[in-house]
Amino acid sequence: MENKNNPLLCDIETGMCDTSNENSDTAPQSNIQTTEKSIKIIYYTDPICSSCWGIEPQLRKLKLEYGNDVEIEYRMGGLLPDWSYNSGGIGKPSDVAHHWDEVSVYYDMPIDGDVWLEDPLPSSYPPSIAFKAAQMQDYEKSILFLREIREMVFLKKKNIAKWEHLETAANNVGLNVEQLKIDFEGKAKVLFEEDLKLARELGVRGFPTMLFIDDLGNKEIVYGSKPYAFYETAILKLNSKAKKSEYHKKWESLFAKYHSLTAKEFSELSGNPRKESENLLNDLRNKGILEKISTKNGSIWILKN
């Protein structure tokens, strides 16, 4: 698949949505805050990064198994500033639609590319800035907010550059919407620019990028969407004493932690085979325990209140 560093044309083989040819392994330590946990992960992502959606299963498992040793710092990368470019076969929103459908099949994560035909986003900056505003309020709720807007754009074909959808997502996860709007129009823009500046200094060249850093400044970098073992190995290289936590793998426990799961996610977290996982989720839907949202490229199951 041709990729001329067009950020919206993610390379399926590398699992990377590239933004430049630059690749630096030099991270200026003065810009990286320390953490009480043994390893900090600086995670560069974007609300509309399809490869980032593709690693949600691995990322969720990483939090369950190594959450006691790692702290994840979410940073926004600015995937789509606007449409003032034409490269790699992507010059207008409709060009993205088919690519997203391809990516969905490859990652086995539901994505409906028709949002680019029906209500295309002019930029990924508004949802990125909204995430920074959410971070200002509450770290945990900001992660829920990011998940919410991703489900909106990837499954529900919502243009999350529009405030009406950002407002709905904020309400759904319990954020103070009035304060979010104030910060969205003010301080969050500055924080977003700081993320972009740090990305340049760290040599971040695409998304997802995860920089694993210990308290001595040693680091491992994982570029793109990779199997779970790559992320686990990065942790263990920096801290060989990091202990993998055991967690309950029954559906009740997994949905108590994550209120929505795709079949790929459930399979990754439960250890059940992919087909068996989908059958179980469908059984729970038939029993009225889960709600199922289907797209032309897969489904997601949500725990009913």
Query: What is the spatial distance between Cα 221 and Cα 238, in angstroms, rounded to a whole number?
Result: 11
Nearest-5° Cα angle at 240, 257 to 253: 15
Q: What is the fold, at CATH topology level, of the domain defined by 17-25+35-206?
A: Glutaredoxin (3.40.30)
pLDDT at residue 19, as a whole number: 66
Query: What is the spatial distance between Cα 269 and Cα 74, in angstroms, rounded to a whole number?
Result: 21
pLDDT at residue 18, as a whole number: 73
Phi, psi of 196 (to 5 degrees): -65, -40
Listed in sequence order, the DSSP H helices in 203-296 are 228-238, 251-257, 263-270, 274-286
Tokens 């500033």 locate to 81
The sign of the torsion formed by the CA atoms of 124, 17, 236, 254 equals positive
| CATH 3.40.30.10 location in the chain | 17-25+35-206
pLDDT at residue 22, as a whole number: 45
pLDDT at residue 85, as a whole number: 65
Q: What is the pLDDT of residues 39-62, one digit of tens each?
A: 999 999 999 999 999 999 999 999
Q: What is the fold, at CATH topology level, of the domain defined by 251-303?
A: Arc Repressor Mutant, subunit A (1.10.10)
| CATH 1.10.10.10 location in the chain | 251-303
Residue type, 36: E
Query: What is the spatial distance between Cα 125 and Cα 172, in angstroms, rounded to a whole number?
Result: 21
- Tens-digit pLDDT string for the chain (305 aa): 334 456 677 887 777 887 654 444 444 444 555 567 999 999 999 999 999 999 999 999 999 999 999 999 999 999 999 998 666 667 889 999 999 999 999 999 999 999 999 999 999 999 999 999 999 999 999 999 999 999 999 999 999 999 999 999 999 999 999 999 999 999 999 999 999 999 999 999 899 999 999 999 999 999 999 999 999 999 999 999 999 999 999 999 999 999 999 999 999 999 999 999 999 999 999 999 999 999 999 999 999 98
